[in-house]
A and B are shown apart, each in its own frame.
Chain A
Amino acid sequence: MADNTASFVRNQLIPESPPPSSETGAIKWVRENLFSSPLNIFMTVVSLWAIYSLIINVAPWFINGVWSGSSVRDCYEVLDGATGACFAVLKERWPQLIYGFKYPASEFWRPNLAAILLCIAIAPVLFRTVSRKLFFFTLIYPFLAFWLVWGGTILTSIVAFAGFLVALLSFRKLENHGFVIALIGGCAAALVCWILGGYIIDLGENFVALPAVPSRDMGGFMLNLILGTVCVSLSLPLGIVLALGRQSNMPIIKWICVFFIEFIRGVPLITLLFVANVVLAYFFPPDTNIDLILRVIIMITLFSAAYIAEVIRGGLAALPSGQYEAANSLGLDYAQSMRLIILPQALKVSIPGIVNVAVGLFKDTTLVSIISMFDLIGMIRGPILASTAWSGVYWELFAFAAMIFFIVCYSISQYSQWLERQLETDHR
């Protein structure tokens, strides 16, 4: 019976129902993704074969690996011609790989403690659920870590911290008189505090002192970690300032920022490191002896700040102008609208790019091995491979270096993806 009337009224909504069972399950997934067409079947088989042969060839190297011995010849004896890795080098040279070859063994607990405290200090920065009170610890951590790793009297760290504190307080006091006056006042207060503090440090050289370890004795993965953490945490704020400066209406500030960013981006990092090593000394007064690690930190920070600035500039450009207008129309001043409205959004957009730079920076810290600093790579290339006991053990050492860097960089990348999901607010 054909009932073709055009008018139609629905009285009942059709209820939701689950999809048919052939549309779910593992078998369906395999069929659709691995064996959907002849080409797909062929590629699946080839890939499986490639994975199989890789495992078959590499597995014995790992499984037969020798973990004890005091030289590469011990390994050969144990292996007796079979394929196998000589992991004994990692065990025997572990302190060198991690702390460098001159850091006194009796003081290893200090960098270890600093590393553990780093995890606590970094927690409130990374996770919003952690108590805000821990931020206080985050603020004092850099000074505490410096004292732990470098040693000497704790007064040095206290004076440095006091300088920043005095600068902040005088900035707050002078804020009403204008930003520039407050900034100059803050810097002057800090300088006075540090100069006076210098005399106090000279008087109390042994006050709560740890045995001092000079910078040239730092090495191993510890050096990579120090350079990486310090440079990332310094270059992020500097990058923000540069990005905002590049957007500024004031031409001189804008030109300075543009020139700085373009100059740094046009110069290889190696060049800057050589500058730090050799040339930078000419720019300081003749008697000053700026620490080599400090010089390297300055150079790497400037380098990555320029890249981070460009990433953040992209984030700023991605914001619709309506956000600036809305912030302005509510009466927020420049600093407030940047801090509360613009930067939180621009930084969120820039997270992938910033993490990209941060990961790149962390890996680039190995370049310091070229200016004869003994970081992890420098240790492997220099003292370890050059020793008669372990000459020729390339694979194990570089695989170890690769693995340790991969773990850190992959964690950073995973964290950033987690953070992006956390900051997602436009889900329905």
Chain B
Amino acid sequence: MTEQVHLEISDEIAIQIQNMNKWFGSFHVLRDIDLTVNRGERIVVCGPSGSGKSTLIRCINALEEHQKGQIIVDGTELTSDLKNIDKIRSEVGMCFQHFNLFPHLSILENCTLAPIWVRNTPKKEAEEVAMHFLEKVKIPEQADKYPGQLSGGQQQRVAIARSLCMKPRIMLFDEPTSALDPEMIKEVLDTMIELAEEGMTMICVTHEMGFARQVANRVIFMDQGQIVEQNAPEPFFNDPQNPRTQLFLSQILGH
């Protein structure tokens, strides 16, 4: 395992979630979530399936609407005001489990679409930025291909580049490696580690515990819609306090 990422974390608050609750119909998915994320923090969220971890990060860019409590992203509160939502979404990048690239557009067009239409960047400049980030995720040679012609790992790296082209201040990752073959997980994780080393504020839902140990400065464990335990990675993995956390860790690290 490579050396752990150590970076200064500023005092500036990037995301503040207070007493947030969400229901799907009558099902109480998220209960009294309180979470403050400072700029430069790298947080890994884990937990059993159905624990609400994906829903939590999808609330941060309003892909899901919360019903109670407060979410403040970069000083803007998430309300039903569409202008606020669009502003926050263009500041917050997101990567999905199934990449969600646009299959009818080439890789380059995938990356330049949002800068051109949301930020009104001139096409040429947007393409330069896109090529810069495609080089960063190490696939500039695929720029003219279509997503269907790329491997899963390559697609996920394009998805990361696509988000980065909007120059986001916060990145959300929703199980970015869960749909990938083992051979491809590393290339995506390497990209994410590089991003972390540059000081990006990141919240990752993932089961890659090696990644959590190496990159995260805080690990959050969720169960049944609640934050059960949160701690720095060392004490979290070596000395979990809550019995539910202990059970979960013994199950995923036990073999």
Please report A residues at the B interface, Cβ cutoff 8 Å: 320, 322-323, 325-333, 336, 340-341, 344-345, 348, 423, 425-428
Contacts and interface: CB of A to CB of B under 8 A. Distances in A.
Given A322-B100, A344-B104, A426-B146, A329 B117 contact: no
* 9 closest Cβ pairs, A-B complex: A426-B148, A331-B90, A326-B100, A322-B100, A330-B114, A425-B146, A329-B94, A331-B89, A331-B118
Interface string B94-116: 10101011111000000001100
Interface of B: 61-63, 82, 86-87, 89-90, 92-94, 96, 98, 100-104, 113-114, 117-118, 146-149, 162-163, 166
Contacts, number: 73
A336 B63 CA distance: 17
A328 B101 CA distance: 13
27 contacts: A322-B96, A325-B100, A326-B96, A326-B100, A326-B101, A326-B102, A328-B61, A329-B92, A329-B163, A330-B89, A330-B114, A330-B163, A331-B89, A331-B114, A331-B118, A331-B166, A336-B117, A340-B117, A341-B113, A344-B104, A345-B102, A345-B103, A425-B104, A425-B147, A426-B146, A426-B147, A426-B148
A344 B101 CA distance: 14
A330 B87 CA distance: 10
B104 A325 contact: no
Nearest to B62: A328
Given A322-B100, A331-B114, A427 B94 contact: no
B9 to A, nearest CB: 25
Contacts of A331: 86-87, 89-90, 114, 118, 166
A334 B98 CA distance: 22
B100 A332 contact: no
Contacts of A327: 102
Contacts of A332: 113-114, 117-118
B89 A425 contact: no
Nearest to B96: A322
Contacts of B90: 330-331
A330 B148 contact: no
Nearest to A345: B104
A332 B118 CA distance: 6
**Residue of A327, A331, A344, A423 contacting most chain B CB atoms (<10 Å):** A331
Contacts of A344: 104
Nearest to B162: A330
B100 A427 contact: no
B114 A425 contact: no
Contacts of A322: 96, 98, 100
Contacts of A323: 100, 102
A423 B148 CA distance: 13
Contact of A325 (B86, B96, B166): B96
Contacts of A329: 61, 63, 89, 92-94, 163
Given A336-B117, A427-B148, A428-B149, A328 B100 contact: no
A348 B62 CA distance: 29
A379 B213 CA distance: 83
